[in-house]
Structure 1
Amino acid sequence: MADWLGAGCLVAGGLLSLAAGIGVLRFPDVLDRMHAATKPQVLGVLLLLAGVALRLRTPDDVGMIVLVAVFQLATAPVAAQMVGRAAYRSGRVDRSLLDADELADEGRGRAP
């Protein structure tokens, strides 16, 4: 049963990672691409890691998989924020699409 569940996680993770890659290529804006590169990609990697953990099941392998998952969860949001800030400060964000612009309110953003 665990092998079938692991296979399902592997397929679902692969499909989410594929969707993230397609989104990065197809979305027009930096913020949309950033969203596609982080949200489904992180969930896809976590599903892939869960599938691998269910297939291997040894304590050493599961420990390494948990470390990889924690590292992925710690780095992807930080990288997305840095990319978003760099895009905003370089003027590559279409501000008409933003619901709220906290950086412009604090006087840290570029003039529109």
Structure 2
Amino acid sequence: MIDALLHGLSAAMLVIGGGFAVIGGIGVVRFPDIFTRLHAAGVTDTIAPLLIVGGLVLQSGWTLLSFKLLLILLFLLFTTPTASHATARAAMAAGIEPITHDTDAPPGEPPSNT
């Protein structure tokens, strides 16, 4: 009974984490500038590994393997936001401005809400 519950919860965490990773990848491809791309990548690169590694820890049980997985997760949770911050600061230092208008609208016209 408990094993089936753990396997179900683990599978759900793995699928949801994979879904977040795919959504983040789509956001990186679809968004127009580096700042919105960083937001898509930064948010999903934090929650996706949390869910995926959590699901893997549930699959492995409390062993040395789960300890190693948690160390990997700790490393990711510290480095991903730091890398996003460093990339955003480098973009700002290079003079890249965020896009603040709809790129489809002609200059001087308000962005469309559709």
TM over 0.5: yes
Q: Which runs of 4+ in 1 moved over 3 A?
A: none
Q: How does 1:1-112 map to 2 (within 5 A)?
A: 1-94=5-98, 96=100
Structure 1: tracts of 5 or more residues without a match:
98-112
Q: What amino acid is the match of 2:80?
A: A
Max Rg structure? 2
Within 1, Cα distance between the matches of 2:84 and 2:35? 9
Q: Match of 1:64, SS?
A: helix
- Within 2, Cα distance between the matches of 1:74 and 1:48? 16
Letter in 2 for 1:89: A
Q: Report if aligned partners of 2:33, 2:99 keep a CA contact under 8 Å in 1.
A: no
TM-score by length of 2: 0.80
Residues 6 and 55 in structure 1, CA contact (< 8 A), matched pair in contact too: yes
> Matches of 1:94 and 1:77 in 2, distance apart?
19
Equivalents in 2 of 1:85, 1:43: separation in Å?
22
Instruction: String of CA shifts for 1:27-62, please: whole Å, max 9, x gaps.
Output: 001110011111112101110000111111142011
Partner amino acid, structure 2, of 1:35: H
Give the whole-Å Cα distance in 1 for the aligned partners of 2:71 and 2:91.
30
**Which residue in the other structure is 2:105 paired with?**
none
The answer as to whether partners of 2:6 and 2:58 remain within 8 angstroms in 1 is yes
Instruction: State the TM-score, normalized to the length of structure 1.
Output: 0.81
Let me know the Cα RMSD of the aligned residues. 1.4
Deviation at 1:96, TM superposition (A): 4.9
Equivalent pairs counted in the alignment come to 97
Instruction: Return the alpha-carbon distance in structure 2 between the equivalents of residues 38 and 50 of structure 1.
Output: 18
